[in-house]
Structure 1
Amino acid sequence: MEEETNNVEKLIEDLKEASISKNEKTENNISHITEILDSLVKISQTSTTQESTDFIRDKIFLQLLNHNSEVIAAKTAKTIAEIAKTEFGRKKCTNEEFVKNLIELLKSHDLELLTQTSRALGNICYENVKGKTIIRENEGLKNILKVLKRGIDLEEKEGAEYLRNVATGFLLNYLVDQSRLEKEVIKEEVVPAICSILELDGIKTREAAMQALLTLGVLNDSGIQFLDDRLSIILVEILASDTSSEFSEMCLEVLHGQADDENAKLLLAKAGVCELLLKLLEKHGPRCTDEETRSVLKVACNLIVLILTGDDSMNLLYKGPVYKTLTEWLESNDEDLQVTAVLAMGNFARADTHCEHMVDQGVHLKLLKLLSKNNKNKCGDIRFQHDLLSALRNLVIPTKNKSTVLAGGLIDVLIPMLDIPTFPVVFKLLGTLRIVIGGQQETAILLGKNSDLIKKAVEWSGTEDHPGVQGEANRLLAWLIINSRHNEVVDSVIKHGGVKRLVKMLNSKYALMQNEALLSLNILTAICLSDSEKPLIDSEIGPTLRRFLRESATTLEPPIVYNSLSLTLKLTKSEILRDHLKKSELHSSWKELLISRESELENAKEKLKILSSALDSLD
């Protein structure tokens, strides 16, 4: 240790003497100084002590950075770069005077000096908040980009590629963990510079291009939206070159990070990203057998689906080969490609015209075939079940499609799924059943007579663990009654405790659900008034209606108010229910409502008289 210290001290003294020599500019003296600097670097690299880099704090290094010889300045910058490779050395190099002098050297035209200075500063700001702060306070980003553009302008000249590499690395280290630099990044045109790097070095998979892609990843993580036509085309070209799986993965991650934006989705769709990925996946898919390559495949699949979540991009891709290929993937032996196809069908089916065309082509039959193999609690893949149900749910929205999909065996495939306890799957299952019975009386009666379905719907409509499931279960009960208008369906709902759920549904914060509850209760009381008396009273229909009139009906559309009036009048036909309504002081609530909305509600006074007469409460 002592011997090492003595060696360092002697080298520093030699360095000082050489720097003040009358022959400081001679070739021999420059060579002597560089040899000393190399020796100091070697000691720092081989030593195991933190003190081995203390020498860098000596003022001689500041003097050498400002040496008249650019060779000496470059060699000094290189020494600093080497010392700053370690955490301890980095801390000792982090002082304002040092960094300012280095940044000043970035204005040089000497290629080697620019290269070594960029290395030094890049290493200093690596995982070093203080170093980044000093660089930022001295117009760091602007100076980095000047060096980067110099490397770009030199194209393939000797040393240019390495300069681009270290300058891009410097940029990367500087931007990491500096999300607040978004405005500066955009103002200084960082992304156009990165595009130029990728155009020069991307397809050749050079180190600078890798640093550039990593930098875009940092911008992604900062939430900066930077994708444009130029960058889209460049990234597609790199992907299409298919020369490096590592580069392909990085390109995919950049694109995936940008594709949450609607405009970006359309850009990527127009750039042919999905068409390219489909070809690459079909080419490399069979060879993606290990975890690493399979992970890249999944990123590509996810990107295709993400692009399809945009309305404009989805409509564009539906018209071309992407849709055709994805429908073929529904029968793929590769599970990930098949899942991608199912998710894609769900997205394509967001437009009614697409839905009708897809059913005409028999897409629903392929989906039903897949679901029939995955519709049991024990054997089904939860995610796959969810995705398949999402696609089928969308396909049965158009009226034209309902009977066709039903004829394809939809109900037989769905009913076994009642035993699945997973709420996200249950949510899609209930929604699919509800939508498909719209205007399909025969199917509504069939399902309404299924006691297992009614029991489950009543059970799920009471859950507090998943509001979506609760809402869909309530709506399904209401839709079964509305669309069947059948006494056996109504009997089953009453028998299994569904009345309580429908009454509670009147308190929903959604007008649509409130109206569905009113319509179903109107039909229920018209068909089975006597059987519904006790469950209605137990469900506190009077206080619930009163709350509905005071809290909701004041702002609801007139047709919904009329439905609630119709229900009230039906309830008064039962003596027991009429007494219950009287005790609930429902008449006064109706009176307040009808008077307050007299100008909006047709024949409000006449309706109030009818209601008063029905309640036998003329006051």
Structure 2
Amino acid sequence: SAVESLVKELKRASLDGDTSPILAKISAADPKTYEEVDLAEPLHSLLASGSDSNRAQVAKCIADVAKTPAQRKRFTTTTTIDLLLKFISLANQPDKIPLVTQSCRALGNICYLNDDARSIIGELKGDAVLMKLLDVALEEEQFLKVRCGVISNFILGGEEISKRALELGMMEKLEATTEAAAKRTPLPEELLLNTLPHLSILTENVPDLKFSARLNQSLVRVLGASTNADLGELCLELLHYQAEYDDVKVVLAKDGLCETIYRLLEKYKTLASSSSDARALMKSACDLIVLILTGDDSMNYLYGTPFLANMEAWLEATDVDLVTTGVLALGNFARTDSHCIDMVKRSVMAKLLAILAKNNTTSDDVNLQHALLSTLRNLVIPKVNKMAVIEAGLVEILLPMLEIHTPWVVFKLLGTLRMTVDGQEKLALELLANDKLIRQLVAWSNSTDYAGVTGESLRLMAWLVKHAYAVQRHEAAPVADHTSLACFARTEGAIESMVRMLTSQHLVMQNESLIALSILLIVFGGRNAAETSVDLEGLLVAANVGGRLAELISTRADTMTKEIVENLQALVKLLRKSDVLVKHMAQHNIDELVKSIPILVEYCTL
């Protein structure tokens, strides 16, 4: 066959001494052509003798052949790898660079996804040879690429190999190169594009690898000066890894990283509409800004810098990624009461509401909606902000969003409403009577797809009852108008939801349901159903309140706090006012169960 004759030709050429044409022919062919043929032996013997230029051509041929797993295996021998390492170790001699370059290519291809080859390199102390390559100051493009390739393919071998590379001083070498490169103008982009990938691999392979402050500063500098999207992406990726540590977040903030990114994005925002690379870079940069702001120290530091105004300016941007980032940044700034109050005073909140009003339907961007709701939820937490936000129309803007069914947006929507209603009796009364809202909350509380939505729906209903009728719990003069609560109680499934909430996993939710049910009983218990048009007894029995209470006590008695036990006793006392409910509770042995709660038993034995 043609392949067999080729091997014969190769052996003959080796004897004659003119191997160039046949090597060129092999290099140019599709590597799969020789899949069945063992070229390792003839090529190795050619590599072992002859002039440097011949050897370079043989190494190139090995690199071209070793692109398939089967051929890689054949070249994975101590003799071939040792020879290639010997040539690579000559990298500090300028006249040897063509041979070094092709040997790097050959060894890089051999040890691609090849642990056996990596082990041989380790046994031959070849890792030290490869690390010394990083000291060679040559910046010829092909040399930089193959050096990067062979070192990357070797250290991709995992944690042990990467840690050994660190012991050999790899980090210091990479740091020195990056730091020197960052100070040069124009930036040596090719050098950096072939240096920084090593840092990525080390970060992924070595747990908790922290860079020095100087290296991080150099990366910030490169990010600001670079005009190459790939290089920008590399810097962002590395800084992202480092910014996972809170102590690094604040250092990066003080090094001006966020301002650098702001300027970078102002530069890229026009490109992002047409280029997917620029868009990817933009998203990654936006994520990094938000990550830095999740640290308390970095967030507090940046609040006092012009960066705050930059983020507020992005609320007016035309690019949705920039608007979303501005909103998320402000949401992270809104983690202290003083910042929240300041932002409402300076009308930042009004700007956010205006954006939400234009983005509150099912067809709008869900990431932006999620960001707006997260930020508004934080802004309404301080008591002094609530009235201002309600008067500015927050609730009217939120209610149309009940049409949206994206779980993580719904979760934030309900949380925002719940924070807004806290202590706001008038608003709570209005919302209790909002049939569409309550029906939707009941439906969401029954959906099991997303636990967060189920929980928030139940909590919002309980909070509406609690804040609309807070006075009822303190036996003060009852609110004469019970229309809103009657609307709530008559909504199909509403009472059943409150009863089901008794057996929630979370203590706080169990407590909230005890309070809501007590208020319902104070208002409607002991009156006839005709008078209030609410048959609370019937609804509670149908919802199996006794069974739920029995389950709550028998599964949670040991962990109950004093507050929960008191609220539980108050609810049971209210239930006892009705003969129907007394009978229902007896079927579930509630009195005996209550007596067995450890915390009550302890009170008695004092």
Aligned to 1:491: 486
Q: Alignment partner for residue 93 of structure 1, among 75, 81, 86? A: 75
Trace 1:72-151 onto structure 2 (pairs within 5 A).
72=51, 76-77=55-56, 79-86=58-65, 87=67, 90-108=72-90, 110-111=93-94, 112=96, 114-115=100-101, 117-149=103-135, 151=136
Separation in structure 1 between the aligned mates of residue 442 and residue 189 of structure 2, nearest angstrom: 63
Query: Residue 472 of structure 1: CA displacement?
Result: 0.6
**Does the Cα contact within 8 Å between 2:595 and 2:601 map onto a contact in 1?**
no
Q: Does 1:309 align with 2:294?
A: yes
Q: Evaluate the alpha carbon distance shift between residue 574 and residue 171 of structure 1 in structure 2; reply closer, same or farther with a 3 A threshold.
A: same
Trace 1:193-342 onto structure 2 (pairs within 5 A).
193-201=173-181, 204-222=187-205, 224=207, 225-292=209-276, 293-342=278-327
Query: Residue 179 of structure 1: CA displacement?
Result: 5.1
Aligned to 2:496: 500
Query: Residue 104 of structure 1: CA displacement?
Result: 4.1
Q: Evaluate the alpha carbon distance shift between residue 226 and residue 182 of structure 1 in structure 2; reply closer, same or farther with a 3 A threshold.
A: farther
Q: Alignment partner for residue 11 of structure 1, among 1, 5, 13? A: 13
- Alignment deviations for residues 276-316 of structure 1 (CA, whole Å, 9 cap, x no partner): 11012113312333132222222222221222223332222
Separation in structure 1 between the aligned mates of residue 40 and residue 509 of structure 2, nearest angstrom: 77
Q: Evaluate the alpha carbon distance shift between residue 147 and residue 538 of structure 1 in structure 2; reply closer, same or farther with a 3 A threshold.
A: same
**Does the Cα contact within 8 Å between 2:156 and 2:201 map onto a contact in 1?**
yes
Give unmatched runs, 5+ long, in structure 1: 16-35, 607-619
After TM superposition, what 4+ stretches of structure 1 lie above 6 angstroms from structure 2? 159-162
Aligned to 1:29: none
**Does the Cα contact within 8 Å between 2:445 and 2:458 map onto a contact in 1?**
yes
Q: Evaluate the alpha carbon distance shift between residue 422 and residue 62 of structure 1 in structure 2; reply closer, same or farther with a 3 A threshold.
A: closer
- Alignment deviations for residues 543-577 of structure 1 (CA, whole Å, 9 cap, x no partner): 22222222223321112101110111111111211
Separation in structure 1 between the aligned mates of residue 7 and residue 595 of structure 2, nearest angstrom: 99
**Does the Cα contact within 8 Å between 1:103 and 1:140 map onto a contact in 2?**
yes
Give unmatched runs, 5+ long, in structure 2: 470-478, 528-534
Query: Residue 325 of structure 1: CA displacement?
Result: 0.5
Trace 1:52-91 onto structure 2 (pairs within 5 A).
54=39, 57=42, 60-61=45-46, 63-64=48-49, 72=51, 76-77=55-56, 79-86=58-65, 87=67, 90-91=72-73
Give the alignment's TM-score, normalised by structure 2: 0.86
Separation in structure 1 between the aligned mates of residue 301 and residue 166 of structure 2, nearest angstrom: 30
Query: Residue 318 of structure 1: CA displacement?
Result: 2.0
Q: Alignment partner for residue 579 of structure 1, among 573, 576, 583? A: 583
Aligned to 1:27: none
Query: Residue 369 of structure 1: CA displacement?
Result: 0.5
Q: Evaluate the alpha carbon distance shift between residue 73 and residue 448 of structure 1 in structure 2; reply closer, same or farther with a 3 A threshold.
A: same
Aligned to 2:473: none
Q: Alignment partner for residue 505 of structure 2, among 509, 514, 517? A: 509
Q: Which amino acid aligns with 2:123?
A: E
**Does the Cα contact within 8 Å between 1:148 and 1:168 map onto a contact in 2?**
no
Aligned to 1:414: 398
Separation in structure 2 between the aligned mates of residue 401 and residue 540 of structure 1, nearest angstrom: 40
Query: Residue 411 of structure 1: CA displacement?
Result: 0.9
**Does the Cα contact within 8 Å between 1:43 and 1:52 map onto a contact in 2?**
no
**Does the Cα contact within 8 Å between 1:480 and 1:489 map onto a contact in 2?**
no
Alpha-carbon RMSD across the aligned residues, in angstroms, is 2.9
Q: Does 1:346 align with 2:340?
A: no
Trace 1:461-500 onto structure 2 (pairs within 5 A).
461-485=445-469, 487-496=482-491, 497-500=493-496
Q: Alignment partner for residue 459 of structure 1, among 443, 462, 477? A: 443
Q: Secondary structure at the match of 2:449?
A: coil
Separation in structure 1 between the aligned mates of residue 145 and residue 346 of structure 2, nearest angstrom: 53
Q: How many residues align?
A: 569
Q: Alignment partner for residue 548 of structure 1, among 532, 544, 552? A: 552
Q: Evaluate the alpha carbon distance shift between residue 268 and residue 185 of structure 1 in structure 2; reply closer, same or farther with a 3 A threshold.
A: farther
Query: Residue 334 of structure 1: CA displacement?
Result: 1.9
Q: Evaluate the alpha carbon distance shift between residue 357 and residue 577 of structure 1 in structure 2; reply closer, same or farther with a 3 A threshold.
A: same
Percent identity reads 35
Structure number with greater Rg is 1
Q: Evaluate the alpha carbon distance shift between residue 198 and residue 375 of structure 1 in structure 2; reply closer, same or farther with a 3 A threshold.
A: same
Aligned to 2:537: 533
Q: State which drifts further: 479-488 or 308-317.
A: 308-317
Query: Residue 230 of structure 1: CA displacement?
Result: 2.1
Aligned to 1:171: 151
- Alignment deviations for residues 365-396 of structure 1 (CA, whole Å, 9 cap, x no partner): 1111011111123x322222121111111111
Give the alignment's TM-score, normalised by structure 1: 0.84
